[in-house]
Structure 1
Amino acid sequence: MEFNLEAGKHLYDECSTLILPALSIGNVGQLAVDLLVASTKAERVGYLDDPNVVPCVGNDAYTPTPQGDLALPLEAYESPSSALTLIQQRSPVVKGMMIEFAKNLADFAVASGKKHIIILSSLDFGRWQTVDMSSGLQIYYLSNTNVDGSDEKCEKLGWKKMKEYDPNQKLWKYLSTLAEGNVTQDDTSPFEDDLGEEDYYPSLPFAAMFSCFKAKGLKVTCLLCYCSEGDNIPDAFHLAEAACNLAGLTPDTFKGSEGGWVIPFSWQSVYGPPPDMSLF
């Protein structure tokens, strides 16, 4: 992975917290990062070139006036006022290369002096075994602060630890082995036919990223929410607000119209153009 700094831009030492998405159902993590980039007025400082990410190109996602800036698969944004670095990922990882991609991201985080990594992702609502909507949308977390994945700060914020995390479980242990680079000829990869229900969560992208950042000695926190495919903008607001709470930011201070949030320009066409009313 190569980091390409844009002309006239530089990285800010005070931006020691890195927020990035892990692609999953509903693209909630990506939508949340979009919301954070727009609301914190973060500027693009460069892009990451990684052979493990599918190439893509698109229009500027944040500026309504055409500037000729193209959106790329992996972009880095920084907001010195919020002390945040944000990475937006717009295309998937090549099949079978998730661990290598996560290792490259971890190397970038270390090289750029990041101290705390916040991963935003989503989980399949269909696999939520105990549905309790009495308290509304719930944030789940996974942290490397303690061996069991718990974190006192996250608990004080009212979030629940992802109960499916077990560092001694077969696939979680295998991820750690890969992330630490300790694979030997005696280590064998779990075959897909052998995977059970307990292996679903560690098979997701956020788990590989969590393991690789952890292996580099970085503090890493995954913020997760359950969702289904469809209009997941409310979930993105919820996840972005959780990220702000963890980073010590107050969304009300953002200069937007939606409770302080600034709606990304690209969201105007996230579900395509409006219908042709002449048809009705």
Structure 2
Amino acid sequence: MLLEFAKNLANFAASSGKKHAVVLSSLDFGRWQKIDMSSGPQIYYLSTTNPDGTDDYCEQLGYKRLQEYNPSQRCWKYLDAVVEENAMQDKSFPFEDEPEEEDFYPSLPFASLFSSFKAKGLKVTCLFCYCSEGDNIPDAFLLAEAARKFLGLNLDNSHGDESTRWLIPCSWKTVYGPPPDLSIF
């Protein structure tokens, strides 16, 4: 169903005349290979600008390419073939066997969107940040700021930290229940 959704969304975007899709996604912090907190929060990207997933503009912004992307890896090739509707009935793509480590990223939702938009001839840029379980609201602000910076949007109408620049959905206020009763302290 995920692939069908991604293909339908790509069809809609292409038929609407869109030329560039930006996908925001979190990634599992437990899979983060190279932790370098000295340069602050890190945003990763994947782009169709070049076949290897690189994009000079993203690099200029300080974003790092998702190192785990390998377009010649079997699952990425298979995903591309499926969304291009050239699904190969080849035994070199057996998904009945045990998945390998390199199969993890192509199995995520962003990968279906990436491949589907690419198959429709749209430019695609995926922006990522690694998140751990729990309160991911700061990570959401980090991705929102990365998207704002990438798109060149200006938020002159407000000042302060990220949480005061963005309209926060009401549902976020109760994600972890109501605030504690301060009279108990």
Q: Report the Cα offset of residue 203 of structure 1.
A: 0.9
* 1:248 has 2:152 as partner: yes
Separation in 2, partners of 1:228, 1:173: 29
Q: Pick the aligned partner of 2:175 from 270, 274, 277.
A: 270
Gaps of 5+ in 1: 1-96
Structure 2 unaligned spans of 5+: none
- DSSP-derived class of the 1:147 partner: coil
Check the 8 A contact 2:81/2:88 in 1, yes or no.
no
3-state SS of 1:193 partner: coil
Structure 1 distance, partners of 2:3, 2:121, is: 17
Distance in 2 of aligned mates of 1:276 and 1:211: 48
Matches within 5 A, 1:116-195: 116-186=20-90, 189-195=93-99
Which residue identity does 2:57 align to in structure 1? K
Q: Distance in 1 between matches of 2:38 and 2:180?
A: 36
**Aligned partner of residue 109 in structure 1, secondary structure:** helix
Residues 103, 269 of structure 1: alpha-carbon distance in 2 compared, 3 angstrom cutoff:
same
What is the 5 A alignment of 1:58-97? 97=1
Task: Evaluate the alpha carbon distance shift between residue 176 and residue 254 of structure 1 in structure 2; reply closer, same or farther with a 3 A threshold.
Answer: farther
In structure 2, distance between residues paired with 1:260 and 1:138: 20
Say which SS state the counterpart of residue 111 (structure 2) adopts.
Answer: helix
Q: Distance in 2 between matches of 1:234 and 1:149?
A: 27
* Alpha-carbon distance change, 192 to 131 in structure 1, aligned in 2, over 3 angstroms: farther
Matched, 1:216 2:124: no
In structure 1, C-alpha distance between the alignment counterparts of 2:31 and 2:141, rounded to whole Å: 22
CA shift in 2, pair 1:180/1:136, >3 Å = same
Q: What number of residue pairs does the alignment pair up?
A: 183
SS in 2 for 1:271: coil
C-alpha distance after superposition, 1:43-90 (max 9, x if no partner):
xxxxxxxxxxxxxxxxxxxxxxxxxxxxxxxxxxxxxxxxxxxxxxxx
TM-score by length of structure 1 reads 0.61
Matched residue type, 1:268:
K
Q: Matches of residues 191-210 of structure 1 in structure 2 within 5 Å?
A: 191-210=95-114
Are the counterparts in 2 of residues 256 and 262 from structure 1 also a CA contact under 8 Å?
A: no
Letter in 2 for 1:274: P
Higher relative contact order (CA 8 A, sep 6+): 2
Do 1:144 and 1:221's aligned partners in 2 also have CA atoms closer than 8 Å?
yes
Identity %: 65
Looking at structure 1, the residues matched to 23 and 173 of structure 2 have their Cα atoms a distance apart, in angstroms, of 25
Greater strand proportion:
1
